Structure formats: C-alpha cells, structure tokens
Amino acid sequence: MTTKKTRDQLRFILVQARTDQQMKLHEITCFETSGNLGDEQVFSHDLLEKPLAVGQMDSCDGIIIGGSGDYSVLDDVPNLASLGHFIQEARARGVPVLGSCWGAQFVAKIFGGQVIHDPAHKEVGSIEVTKTEASRADKLFTDMPDHFWAQAGHNDRVSVLPDGAVLLASSANCPVQAFTFPSTGLYGIQFHPELAKEDLVLRLQYYKENYVKNTDSVEDIISGLKETSEAASLVGKWVDRIALARS
C-alpha cells in the first residue's frame, strides 16, 4: 500500500532557461513563495547547461517550466528537444506540469499549438484577466474571480491552442492567457502567477531593454502596477489541488 505524501514532502523540478544567476535564484524564490513551498521542495534544472533525462521525473511530484527573459520559444534554445520529450512523457504518465509565460508557450507549441512573435500586442505590467465559462468547471480556476489582475511581460503569445486544450482565461491583448488539457494536471498560464508586484519591478528593471524602449516607460509601468493576490494564489492551488491530490 502506497502512503500518501504530505504537502511538505512534495518535490518539484523547475526548468529554467535563464542566463543570469540572480534572475534564476529570484525565479526559484518566487515559485517557493507563491506556492507556499519550502527551500528543499523546488529544484532547478538549468536547460541551458544540460538536457533533461526522463529518469528525473521519478523523483518529483510535478514539473514547473518558468519564464525566460533571454529566449523566445521560437529560438534555437539549447537542449529544447529534451524538454519536449520530457513534457510529452509527463503528460503520458499523468505527472502535473505548470508552464508560466515562456513555459506556457512551450507547452502549447510542443503539443501542436502555434506561438507567434507579436510585439504589437505585448503585455508588460499588471493586466486584467477574464475567466472563460469553461474555467468554472476547472479545479484550478473554478473559484477565481471572473476578472482579476495579474503580472505579465511577453512579446510572444499563443495564437492557436493545441487540439484538446481548453481555454481558461483571456485578456484584451492576448486571447490565450491560460489553458489546460482536461483530466490532466497540465496547465499553461501566459501571465506570471508566481510574481508579486515587487517581483515584477525587479524583472522590469533587469529586462527593460527587451520589453520597453526607455527609462521613462519603465517608470510609467511601475507606477501603474497593481497587487495581484488572486493570480498569485494559482501556484499554491496547483500544488494542493493537482500535485498533492495526485501524490
């Protein structure tokens, strides 16, 4: 008989595609904080340094794919093929997956969706997200408000969802803000559920050359940022309702 794990026994792989050590550590901390997870529960895998091996899945309870201020999913990213195989195998095994921003785009693309570079509709700052009717039946989004604020920063977006994916949320500039494959623990979220207001301030200051044209724009964006506690609750809900329930 298999003993069910407690929440503090859960272990997660965070797949990262970032070049800067400070931003890597910041991303880990953001997922730990938003997911109410301890220091020994989130383990980073640097995709830029080495490929993923399917055997790594045996020692984790879920997979998180973070963002990337350095790469687009349309780029030739080191070891990207290994991530594709890894996530396809995770879906086949029923291992929970949470893709945030770059991670959501990758999940969509690897299962047959389309991602486009669309700076004309980029989102940088706090954005208003609207739930779809289908989200009311979803474990993660069912009790989210119909409209809520979230932190975002992207130039690419999912333009076509993969077959079988269900749209959970949208925004004015980005029709695909969240999706899932029903009866799986696999989610893609275009906005950053792991980021609080102060976290996005740090990201903006670091990656400003990628997303804004001048310092004045950065200050304007920062002055308009909002608190996003509802969006931040999603990581913890994924841990509790998807990963813990499966364990």
Tens digits of per-residue pLDDT, 26-62? Answer: 999 999 999 999 999 999 999 999 999 999 999 999 9
* CATH fold group of domain 9-246: Rossmann fold (3.40.50)
- What's the confidence (pLDDT) of residue 218? 87
Q: Where are the domains of the chain?
A: 9-246
At position 22, the amino acid (one-letter code) is Q
DSSP symbol at 150: E
Q: How confident is the model over 154-196, as pLDDT tens digits?
A: 999 999 999 999 999 999 999 999 999 999 999 999 999 999 9
Q: Contact, 47 vs 80, CB < 8 A?
A: yes
Q: In angstroms, rounded to a whole number, what is the distance separating the alpha carbons of residues 207 and 102?
A: 14
Q: Known catalytic residues?
A: 101, 192, 194
Q: Which two tokens stand for residue 199?
A: 């976290």
Q: How confident is the model at residue 3 (pLDDT cuts 50, 70, 90)?
A: confident
- Positive or negative CA dihedral for 112, 237, 171, 132? positive
Model-level pTM? 0.96
Q: Which two tokens stand for residue 184?
A: 């799986």
Q: How confident is the model at residue 206 (pLDDT cuts 50, 70, 90)?
A: confident
At position 119, the amino acid (one-letter code) is P
- Taking alpha carbons only, the member of 136, 132, 84, 89 closest to residue 112 is 84
The tokens 């997303």 sit on which residue? Answer: 211
